[in-house]
Structures are given as C-alpha cells and as structure tokens.
Amino acid sequence: MFGGSKLEKSIDRRVFKFIFREIRDMGSREIKSPEDMLETPASLEEDGRSRKKLGMFFIESDNRRTAFGRGYTGGTTPVDIHGKPIADLSKTGGWIAALFIFGNEMAERMAYFGLSVNMVAFMFYVMHRPFSSSSNSVNNFLGISQVSSVLGGFLADAYLGRYWTIAIFTNIYLAGLIGITLCASMKIFVPNQDQCDQLSLLLGSCEPAKPWQMLYLYVVLYLTAFGAAGIRPCVSSFGADQFDERSKDYKTLLDRFFNFFYLCVTIGAIVAFTLVVYIQIERGWGAAFGSLAIAMGVSNMLFFAGTPLYRHRLPGGSPLTRVAQVLVAAFKKQHVPFTRSELVGLYELPGRHSAIKGSGKILHTDDFRCLDKAALQLKEDGGNPSPWRLCTVTQVEEVKILIKLIPIPACTIMLNVILTEFITLSIQQAYTLNTHIGKLKLPVTCMPVFPGLSIFLILCLYYSVFVPVSRRITGHPHGASQLQRVGIGLFISILSVAWGGVFERFRRGYAIKHGYEFSFLTPMPDLSAYWLLIQYCLIGIAEVFSIVGLLEFLYEEAPDAMKSIGSAYAAIAGGLGCFAASIINSIVKSVTRNPENKQQSWLSQNINNAKFDYFYWLLTVLSIINFCFFLYSAHRYKYRTEQTFEAWETKQNILAEDS
C-alpha cells in the first residue's frame, strides 16, 4: 500500500548474490561499450525493447574518457574535521557523539517553542500590539525560520559541511536570543507600561511601541530565525552521520536514532511549555527569554566539546549548480533522439568513481527520461565537454531523486497546518474552560504541553508496544516502513481535527445554553479543559509517526551529497504549513464574514459566537483529500533500495544475454 515493503524479507540476500556475481565476473568479463555491441540504439528502438534496456545499454565503459578527473570514490566515507579519512572508526561516532548533538537540538527546540508560545503574549502585553497583528508576526517568524532551512542545507552540502554550518548558525541563534532578552529586560526597548491595565489593553488605549522599538524586536527575532535556518536541516543529518552505514545493524541504529532525536525535540518543547512559562509568570519576560539564551549557550559548549568524537562527510560542491547544469544540458539536447547515430552513450565516470565529492555512484533509472538527455554523450561533445552541456548519470539521478522526494513531504504540509491551528485556536478554547487540576490551576499557555507529553509517552512505548504488535501485522522488521509510518500519522491527524470539531460544537452549545455567549474570556467552571486532551494526544501520536518517519525517509532516500537539503524538505513543509494556516485563516474570515447582516466570521474573536467547529471540519475535509493524494504518491514511490535491486537484476539479465 505504501510502496516497497514486499521486498524486505528477500531483497538483501538477492542483492548480495548479484553483487557477488558482478564482483566475481569483473576480472574476467569486460563491460562492452556501445561501439562493440551487436545491436545499435536504432535496432533496439525497432524491436520495441528500448524503454526497458535504455539504461543498461549505455553502461559506462572503462575506455570512456572523462572531463572530470579521477573522481571520488567511497563518497560516504567518514572523515575527521580536517577532511582526512578516519583510520579507527571505533574511536569516533556512535551514540556518545550523538548525545552531544542531541543537546544542541534540545536547546534549539526549547528556544523555538519558548518563543512561539510567549512572543504573541509579549507583543500584546508589553509592546501593545494588536493580538491579530502579534499572532501573524509570530506565525511569519515560525514559517520563515523553517522555510529558510533550505539555505542552511545548501551551505552544508555545498561548502561548509554540517558541523561548521551548525557551529556558525548556533552562535547566530544565541546572539538573537540575547538581543530578545535585552529587549525584555531594558525599559528603553519597550513602551511605557504605566496606567496600562487589562481593560486598556483590550480597548487598545495603551501607549504603542515606537517604530524603532518594533524594528529592534523584529531584527533580533528574525536573527534567531536565521540561526534556526542553519541548525534545523543539519542536526538530524549530522547525528545520523555518526553511524556506520556498513554495519549490519545500521538500519536498526538509524531507526532508533531518529526516534531518540525526536524525543529530544519533544523534551525541549515540554520544557518550553512548562518551565519557561513558569519563569515568565514568576520572574518576568526578561528571565524567561534569558533562560532560553542560557540553555542555548550551554548546548553550544557541549556541542563544541564533542568535536573530537564527530564523524564528518565531505561537502560535494554547490548542489544548486549541479541541478542547474542538468536542467540546462537537458534543455540543450531536448531534440536529440536516443537513436541518433552520433550517440556514444550515457556519460559516467569509469569504474567505481563518482564525479561528485561526498557521493557514491547512483545507478541509472528510467524515471524522468527527459532529464537523461543531459547525460547523452555525442561525438561532437569531444573529450573535454562542458558540465553545462554534458552531465554524468549520477548527477542526473541526483536531480531525479530530489524531484521524486517532493510529493511525500508536501503531503505533511496539511499536518503542519493542523499543528499550527491547534496552538492558537485550542488556547482560545482553553480560556473559556476550567483548567484546574484539583486545587492547582494550570496556566492556559501551558496547554500545548499535552501534545508533547503524549509524544514523549508514545516514543517511550514505541519499541515495547507498537513495533512488536505491528510487526505481526506487516511482517516489517521495524514494525512499519517509513512511508507506512507517515501514512499512519496523517490518518490519525484526520481523527484529531475531526474530534476537535465535535468537541467545539459541544463546547459552544454549552456556552450559549448557560449564558456565556458574550463572556468569551470567562472560564466555565463546570466544563473541564481536559476534554482538549483527546485532540492533543491524537495530534501528538500523529506527529510521532509522520515527522519521525519523514526525517528517516528523507535521510535515507536523499542523494549522498544532498542529505542536508533532503532534511530541509521536512522543515520547509513545516514552514509552508505555518504560511498555509495564515492564508486559510484569512480566506475563511473574508468569505464567512458579512458586515451587512452583522454576521461574524467563523474565526471571530468571540469564540462563543464564532464557528470554530465548522473551521475544524473544513480542515478535516482538506486533510482527507491530502491523505488520498499521499496514498497515491506513496503507492507510486519506489525506495532507492528497490530501484537498485531492479537495476542489478536487469543488468545481470542483459549481461547473460550478451555472453
């Protein structure tokens, strides 16, 4: 249903069988170049087998001249911080090195969620900005910090490597947090707070922040967003780099790493929604934001302390340049048929070498055949062709992989829309409900901690409960494949938002029945806020399955020299979810509001007169449509392992026919 799982039990044995046969025969059987073969491209076209045999007919020849030099071998070989191969891998990497990286991600997530839950209130209560304006500003901050992750992924894959990208941007992040702390601590950066009570805030009569004060806040706020853009796409990939892919337990280690990685993300969120909120209530805004800066500073020291233990991967040069070269070369040869008599073959370096630093070779596939034109070598190309006219098969396959990956993270945008809406809308719901636990009253801003707690619980029980049960159903060694986990999460997110609509209909009806129609800031003592836990727990479970499965999927499926950009896909989906939430909100407010009939929008500020339940059900319908698109995309997707197996099998069949 989700692609590729039927091969899990037999693929390793069959692949190793073919690989062993290939290695055994390499010394005694020479791969024929196109000029030596009996059939020509034209004859293959005529007998109707060209589509099946195109990739295998143009096998790279050891006699082929190359314009790229000797190339790079062992593209995924770990190196030390100086770029030299590590002689003894046992002294580096593994879980010990990963622990230092976990600390950095935990602090970054703590700061991210700490700002997301507190900054709206800070802008409203301290900077005296309208609530809607503050909410949009923070949503834009969250979106930009995630969408701009492609910049960090690009720098890491192209020039800096993941370690140095994290090292630079984590200090930028720290500088931004220090700037926010100063803004909250020094009176010069905030407007006058005298004679500004809650009624004045609601009426908008408090002294607003001066333009230069808001400019300073936006500068330091987006400085932290810029810092997050460099950290987020690199941390998960850099942590996964610490494990040896040649190990027999590599798949298991990688699966556990991404689960523990997201557990650290969850712990950071829980601390932000509880301890940081408590510090803000007891000690003020400056202490709350200062605690985030201290946590980031400590994590930076721990990250640098682990430097001798880290394994690194060489950056492969600008991935965007390589993508552009493929597109330009394919466009130049768009009218060249595969049967042209001057055709030499599909261009690739001889032997096992790759033209891309930090990358191994990638076998040719039949997807997006129009891009294969970029690797078509003609006699007129000569012995030293320009990379803007002729690209290697590996370079072309990189672009194909990036394109094939897009639909899967794109399907998680809707999940991120629901997460964004829950953060804002459920807090508005909680203001009308009783948040007491016995004699303890829980602050409304702490309500988002419950999805984090559900995530923490699910991750703790994942290997002891879910994996054994699901393994019996699917036969998969890890309980479910990566795409199956993403699909399970998306399905549960539909249940979450549907329940949100059901409960909101009940809550609004209860408020109207008991005379709270116009008292939307007054909590109803007989209706507990903990009914919201159902939707919180469901969305937490959905996040565990979808996001963790997506991170592992992108890391394993992305090209060797584009791992950071692959991981950035997940962050981009999160950012687009924030932007999409703002766009959907604006459209709904515009369409459902009718000033002539004094009809308020579904998302009116008075939640007891609004139609939040209709909005939740709209999101439910959109989520179902999105889930259907995911099922279609996942069914069509073939894992790289599966494609490699099919390529080896086809190659062996052709060599057997030729011998």
Terminal C-alpha separation, the chain: 39
* pLDDT score for 24: 40
Instruction: Using alpha carbons, list the distances in angstroms from residue 335 to 272, 329, 499.
Output: 57, 12, 55
* pLDDT score for 536: 85
* pLDDT score for 502: 93
* pLDDT score for 650: 56
Parts of the chain with a pLDDT under 50: 1-75
Q: Could you give all domains of the chain from N- to C-terminal order, each with its CATH number?
A: 80-315 (1.20.1250.20), 319-396 (no CATH), 406-658 (1.20.1250.20)
The answer to whether residues 107 and 296 touch, using CB atoms and an 8 Å cutoff, is yes
CA 173/CA 449 separation, integer angstroms = 24
Model pTM score: 0.74
* pLDDT score for 414: 94
CA 266/CA 537 separation, integer angstroms = 13
Q: Where does residue 620 rank: exposed (0-12), middle (13-18), buried (19+ CB within 10 A)?
A: buried
b/e sequence 384-402, b meaning 16+ C-beta within 10 Å: ebebebbbbbbbbbbbbbb
* pLDDT score for 406: 92
* pLDDT score for 434: 83
* pLDDT score for 58: 43
